[in-house]
């Protein structure tokens, strides 16, 4: 069985307990305007183009049989939208101005990478985390990885938007910890900023809690979207209402997705280029700690 991933990150310490290997899968049903990983949106491999690296050698133009690379007065124009993803241009580029974003791998190839650090998982009470994108967009692939990981005695975690149907319930027996994204509480605002309703997301969250699943709430904080006292108040209230939340992770906005979108030939919907500092969030964290005893971390 094969699936499409865009990264495997070893020795992560912020995606669940202990030392972890994080497998980033491509594909997401949400369209968050601030997306930190726009390369995760499409389930298929894509091409990053970095103009600053281009030396105008025109090897890509020669390699592309679909005429998607145009040189006009030594300016290189890559026609992303019509690209057939044959990847010949990527293979011929000598300076990595064109890079493959995403690749097809087998379950066994992923497992070989995961089990390289089995000893570190044991020593640190760590394990693996499937992230994305949305891992449940590639349900069968994710399920096989989780089954084999559990059979190897390794702790498993899944980071999810919760926007899914039967897949979430079928995968439950193989997940030790859920990193559950909470973006907005208003359904209207959720649709406005992510493109989908949050009704299903909260329904799945409360179901997981009702069966005793361990949950970490993952909460991106975006200026001009949800960076308000009311939002932090609702996060604290939600965590207290649920019985099995073990931590709250607050994720300050960063603008790195803007440049990655440009490299994909796209325009990010949210154009704030300022990092949201932990110091600016700290007063709200203190406020939350007055309302809940659940551990709160700023990532």
The pLDDT value given to residue 82: 86
Say yes or no: 22 and 55 in one domain: no
Kindly tell me if the per-residue pLDDT of 166 is higher than 90.
Answer: no
Question: 172: pLDDT confidence band, cut at 50, 70 and 90?
Answer: very high
What is the average pLDDT across 169-178? 95
Instruction: Give the CATH number of the domain where residue 51 resides.
Output: 3.30.70.20
Rounded Cα distance, 277 and 50, in Å: 28
The pLDDT value given to residue 73: 83
Which candidate, 114, 157, 167, 110, places its Cα nearest to that of 137?
167
- How many residues can be counted in the chain? 299
Say yes or no: 178 and 68 in one domain: no
Rounded Cα distance, 63 and 67, in Å: 9
Q: State yes or no: cis peptide before 133, omega within 30 of 0.
A: yes
Rounded Cα distance, 253 and 145, in Å: 30
Last residue within a domain, chosen from 65, 84, 101: 101
- Rounded to a whole number of angstroms, the CA Rg of the chain reads 20
User: How do residues 276-295 score in pLDDT, each as one tens digit?
Assistant: 999 999 999 998 999 999 99
Say yes or no: 243 and 120 in one domain: yes
Say yes or no: 70 and 39 in one domain: no
What pTM was computed for the model? 0.94
Look at residue 21 and give its three-state secondary structure: strand
Say yes or no: 210 and 116 in one domain: yes
User: How do residues 265-279 score in pLDDT, each as one tens digit?
Assistant: 999 999 999 999 999
Kindly tell me if the per-residue pLDDT of 30 is higher than 80.
Answer: yes
> Which residues make Cβ contacts (< 8 Å) with residue 17, sequence separation at least 6?
124, 125, 126, 127, 155, 177
- Provide the token pair at 159: 């980071």
The percentage of the chain sitting over the pLDDT mark of 70, rounded to a whole number, equals 100
Say yes or no: 154 and 32 in one domain: yes
Residue whose tokens read 């108040």: 233
Last residue within a domain, chosen from 101, 119, 147: 101
Say yes or no: 264 and 212 in one domain: yes
The percentage of the chain sitting over the pLDDT mark of 90, rounded to a whole number, equals 93
Which candidate, 273, 283, 228, places its Cα nearest to that of 253?
273
Least confident of 74-83, 142-151, 241-250: 74-83
Question: 164: pLDDT confidence band, cut at 50, 70 and 90?
Answer: confident
What is the average pLDDT across 7-17? 95
Instruction: Answer whether 116's CB lies under 8 Å from 128's CB.
Output: no
Please list, residue by residue across 268-297, b when 16 or more beta carbons sit within 10 angstroms of its beta carbon and e when fewer do: bbbebeeebeeeebeebbeebeeebebebe
Last residue within a domain, chosen from 70, 101, 132: 101
Say yes or no: 130 and 185 in one domain: yes
Q: In the chain, which ranges are E strands?
A: 2-12, 20-25, 46-49, 69-72, 75-78, 98-101, 103-106, 127-131, 155-160, 177-181, 215-221, 245-252, 296-298
What is the average pLDDT across 30-39? 96
Instruction: Give the CATH number of the domain where residue 201 resides.
Output: 3.20.20.70
Average pLDDT, the chain: 95
The pLDDT value given to residue 177: 98
Kindly tell me if the per-residue pLDDT of 196 is higher than 80.
Answer: yes
Kindly tell me if the per-residue pLDDT of 163 is higher than 90.
Answer: yes
Say yes or no: 138 and 176 in one domain: yes
Look up the domain containing 91 and give its range: 46-101
Least confident of 82-91, 115-124, 145-154, 215-224: 82-91
Say yes or no: 71 and 153 in one domain: no
Say yes or no: 190 and 55 in one domain: no
Domains in the chain, number: 2
The pLDDT value given to residue 261: 96
Question: 169: pLDDT confidence band, cut at 50, 70 and 90?
Answer: confident
Say yes or no: 158 and 291 in one domain: yes
DSSP state for residue 253 in the 8-state scheme: -
Rounded Cα distance, 102 and 80, in Å: 15
Which candidate, 191, 185, 221, 225, places its Cα nearest to that of 205?
185
Residue 29 vs residues 14, 33, 40, 194, 196: alpha-carbon distances, Å: 24, 13, 10, 9, 8
């Amino acid at each position: 069985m094969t699936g499409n991933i865009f990264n495997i990150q070893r020795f992560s310490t912020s995606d669940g307990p202990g030392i972890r290997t994080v497998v980033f899968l491509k594909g997401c049903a949400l369209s968050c305007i601030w997306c930190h990983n726009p390369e995760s949106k499409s389930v298929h491999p894509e091409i990053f183009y970095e103009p600053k690296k281009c030396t105008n050698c025109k090897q890509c133009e020669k390699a592309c049989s679909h005429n998607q690379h145009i040189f006009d007065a030594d300016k290189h124009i890559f026609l992303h939208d019509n690209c057939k993803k044959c990847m010949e241009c990527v293979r011929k580029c000598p300076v990595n101005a064109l890079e493959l974003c995403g690749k097809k791998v087998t379950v066994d190839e992923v497992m070989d990478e995961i089990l390289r650090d089995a000893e570190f998982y044991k020593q640190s009470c760590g394990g693996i985390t499937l992230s994305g994108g949305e891992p449940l967009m590639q349900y069968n692939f994710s399920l096989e990885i989780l089954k084999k990981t559990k059979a190897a005695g390794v702790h498993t975690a899944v980071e999810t938007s919760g926007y899914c149907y039967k897949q979430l319930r079928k995968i439950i027996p193989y997940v030790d910890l859920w990193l559950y994204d909470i973006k907005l509480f208003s359904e209207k605002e959720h649709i406005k900023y992510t493109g989908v309703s949050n009704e299903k997301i909260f329904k799945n969250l409360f179901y997981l809690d009702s069966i005793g699943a361990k949950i970490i709430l993952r909460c991106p904080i975006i200026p001009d979207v949800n960076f308000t006292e009311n939002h932090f108040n609702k996060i604290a209230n939600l965590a207290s209402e649920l019985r099995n939340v073990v931590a709250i992770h607050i994720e300050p906005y960063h603008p790195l997705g803007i440049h990655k979108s440009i490299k994909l030939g796209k325009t990010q919907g949210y154009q704030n280029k300022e990092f949201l500092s932990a110091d600016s969030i700290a007063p709200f964290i203190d406020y939350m700690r007055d309302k809940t005893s659940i551990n709160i971390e700023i990532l």
